[in-house]
Amino acid sequence: MSDLITSVGSVLALIRKEILALVKDPANRVVLFAPALMQALLFGYGATYDLTHVPYAVVDQSRSAASTAFLARLDGTGVFRREATLASNAEIAGLIDSGEVLLALSIPADFERRLTDGEEAPIQVILDGRNSSTAGAAAGQIGTIAADYAVSRGASPPITIERRAWYNPNLESRWTLMPALIAALSLMQTLLLAALSVAREREQGTFDQLLVTPLTPMQILIGKAVPSILVGLIQSTIILLVIRFWFQIPMNGSYWLLYLGLVSFTGAGVGLGLSISALSVTMQQAMLYTFISIMPLTLLSGLLTPVHNMPEVLQVVTFINPLRFGIDFVRRVYLEGAGFADIWFDFVPLLAMMAVTLPLAAWLFRNRLS
């Protein structure tokens, strides 16, 4: 019995020692609690599938009391927000292409007459298929509102919703998700690869030798960045080939424009990874910082939920997330066939991130690790 008590006491003493070792170091305390708190908040606010904000445009050719009442019901939900009232259907394309609206309604000129005569009264809903899940949910809610409005008027048969989805005719979630992976999956690998590059040499003791060579910090930076960028482009190419030829999702845009954007996007990711690597003393720290970064980068990218559904504070934070702009231009080029004039604004933040992170990493090479 005494041996058992002694054994249990020894184990408890060891447990106490390990707990003290974990919480005594301030860095350990941050690692233990900060990531869990941050990710819980991000999941709660950023990863939401609730339909909370649907910008839309309307072409009301009827301009009748019936169409006005229907649109009033739509606006009164607090979910649908009218961004534009258009004169013709020809104006719809520009708003959907730019992402200003998720959908557009086209109400025919004889809408009220059809309701009065007991005929089917169709409303055409044009959806942005690049956000398939949100667009499908929004169309479903419009159908419910239309049915309730028809019942309130005593209309039979009810108002019918004619759906058309651009860039993804069947609103397949695969069409929305898979092109985005061209950017998302390559970022995870290149970020980790770049983050480990300097930390690995730091642990092995070879980075100090590299600093005393005739190479300048910028030359060291280029030597570290180019291999990671090439790996990222190769991985993006592999994913692109799988999407195009295995899943047979048609590519509507220009390959050269897609790769021009991928070079900018991968460069921004590598700059972030090299900055993490320069701040890390060990490979373990570099891996930890990378994995902590990947989760918020993914949640705030628009990969799973649209950015405009997030709280305004988080929408502002997404402007420093390269993955947000990487996913946006990949989806637009791949599904929409967008040209440079349509996506140039995605290049601006990516180039700005490269202009900040790459020189920062070069400065850290010389001033922190030397």
pTM of the predicted model as reported, rounded to 2 decimal places: 0.73
Average pLDDT, stretch 330-359?
Answer: 89
Domain 54-166 sits in which CATH superfamily?
Answer: abc type-2 transporter like domain (3.40.1710.10)
Average per-residue pLDDT in the chain? 81
What would the pLDDT profile of 70-106 be if each residue is shown by its tens digit? 899 888 888 888 988 888 888 888 888 877 888 899 9
Tell me how far apart the alpha carbons of residues 350 and 265 are, in angstroms, rounded to a whole number.
Answer: 6
Q: Which amino acid is present at 286? A: A
Q: Secondary structure of the chain: what % helix, strand, coil (to 5)?
A: 70, 10, 20
Q: Domain locations in the chain?
A: 54-166, 173-367
Q: Which of 46, 57, 143, 45 has its CA nearest to residue 99?
A: 57
What would the pLDDT profile of 260-306 be if each residue is shown by its tens digit? 999 999 999 988 888 888 777 777 778 888 888 888 888 888 887 77
In this structure, how many other beta carbons lie within 10 angstroms of the beta carbon of residue 368? 10
Tell me how far apart the alpha carbons of residues 344 and 318 are, in angstroms, rounded to a whole number.
Answer: 17
Tell me how far apart the alpha carbons of residues 38 and 27 are, in angstroms, rounded to a whole number.
Answer: 16
Q: Residue with structure tokens 């949100």?
A: 134
Q: Residue with structure tokens 């000129």?
A: 109
Provide the H-helix boundaries in 205-321: 207-211, 217-241, 255-279, 283-299, 312-317
Task: State whether residue 146 is helix, strand or coil.
Answer: helix
Task: State whether residue 81 is helix, strand or coil.
Answer: strand
Cα angle value 56/61/66 (rounded, 5°):
85
